[in-house]
Amino acid sequence: MSENASPLQYSDVEQAARRIEGAAHRTPVLSSRTADGIAGANLFFKCENFQRMGAFKFRGAYNAIAKFTDAQRQAGVLTFSSGNHAQAIALSAKLAGIRAAIIMPNDAPALKVQATKGYGGEVIFYDRYTENREEIGQRLARERGMTLIPPYDHPDVIAGQGTAAKELFDEAGELDVLLVPLGGGGLLAGCALAASQLSPNCKIIGVEPEAGNDGQQSLRSGAIVDIGVPQTIADGAQTSHLGRHNFAVIQRLVDDIVTVSDAQLVETMKFLAERMKMIVEPTGCLAAAAALQGVYPAGGEPLAGKKVGILISGGNVDLGRFASLVAG
Ligand SMILES: *Cc1c(COP(=O)(O)O)cnc(C)c1O
């Protein structure tokens, strides 16, 4: 696994942007007067639900694999993921012409398992409540010589995810606030690196599910807090702790972390479908929920008149599950 000796910086995001150019979509930045009216602000939605394989994770995975040596390409890539990173690795490996093995929880959404297999990835199941996926990953990496690219705790993954925010700043200009969904912290750390150069006065806010507020606890206490697997409909953010590389960047560059409830995520799914004609998965709604449900800023400076970036992180949800969530 490659480790940068020096701390991650904006130039890592810039290099990633060059590597993924032509492979990743430059996703649209959308606006909605109705949403602006609700938030009392000027909102810029960066729509990674329209990214290849349906989420921003393609950016980090493709960037990491693009840096492989010939020997690494020969043995292939290995990862563990609850879904979107699995598809991202499987698709990126397919594009690079290398093998991919994916360790997935046996309760992962069917759509995500199918999609991973569809991209040619070999799926290896485990029980996320009794087994440790990191241990399984390290054992398989040893046995097969494959390179492990974890879903968030890796410099090349972080740099790749940051290209989403780089594109947003390139298109919308500097922002006052950027709201970013938070699981293990790949997206948030990468976006914070992009902002540090392109919009240095922008407040960077992570948004987590209420049940999984380990990131908020970690930022406030100054050390990584592990809370066990949280129960939330935001399956892409069911991480129990931030990554090491992620926390280093988040501590340095992120202003605050707020939380939203599952009910607020469902309301936001409905809003994005009805008013913006978008299918967004529960985790993908985290940042939008913070702005539209009055979560951010809590008692702080109001958003009124501000330019606010909202990262819509993904759209991979079974239609049946989508329907039952928004109907309930
Ligand atoms: C993975 C994922 C997240 C969380 O990203 P991290 O880099 O783990 O913080 C948010 N939304 C979606 C759709 C995801 O797939």
Mean pLDDT of 182-208: 98
Q: Is 82 annotated in the active site?
A: yes
Quick one: which atom of ligand 1 is closest to the CA of 190?
7
For residue 212, indicate whether it is catalytic. Answer: yes
Could you tell which of 152, 187, 191 is best to mutate to test the pocket of ligand 1, judged by most ligand atoms within 8 Å of the CB?
Answer: 187
- Please confirm, yes or no, whether 240 is among the known catalytic residues: no
- C-alpha closest to that of 57 among 137, 134, 157, 154: 157
Cα distances from 209 to residues 17, 21, 81, 251, 286, in angstroms, run 29, 32, 18, 19, 7
Query: Which amino acids bring their CB within 6 angstroms of ligand 1?
Result: 55, 57, 84, 151-152, 161, 181-188, 236-237, 239, 281, 283-284, 313-314
Q: To the nearest whole number, what is the mean pLDDT of the chain?
A: 94
Residue 328 has a pLDDT of 77
Q: pLDDT, tens digit, for every residue of 242-275?
A: 999 999 999 999 999 999 999 999 999 999 999 9
Report the range of poorest mean pLDDT among 24-28, 133-137, 243-247, 290-294. 133-137
Contact criterion met (CB below 8 Å) for 181 and 242: no
Percent of the chain topping pLDDT 70: 98
- Please give the distance, rounded to the nearest whole angstrom, from the Cα atom of residue 175 to the centre of ligand 1: 22
pLDDT classification of 286: cutoffs 50, 70, 90: very high
CA of 182 to the centre of ligand 1 (A): 6
Whether 4 has a pLDDT exceeding 70, the answer reads no
What's the pLDDT at 82?
65
Give me ligand 1 centre to Cα 183, in Å.
Answer: 5
Q: Does the pLDDT value for residue 2 go beyond 70? A: no
DSSP-derived letter for residue 151 is: S
DSSP string of 31-44, one letter each residue: --HHHHHHHTSEEE
What is the C-alpha to C-alpha distance for residues 256 and 261, in angstroms, rounded to an integer?
17
| 312-320 mean pLDDT | 95
**313 is an active site residue:** yes
Is residue 196 among the annotated active site residues?
Answer: no
Note the pLDDT of residue 302.
78
pLDDT digits (tens, 9 = 90+) for 71-110: 999 999 999 886 899 999 999 999 999 999 999 888 887 8
How many Å lie between the centroid of ligand 1 and the Cα of residue 9? 20
- Respond yes or no: is residue 127 known to be catalytic: no
- Position 1 scores a pLDDT of 42
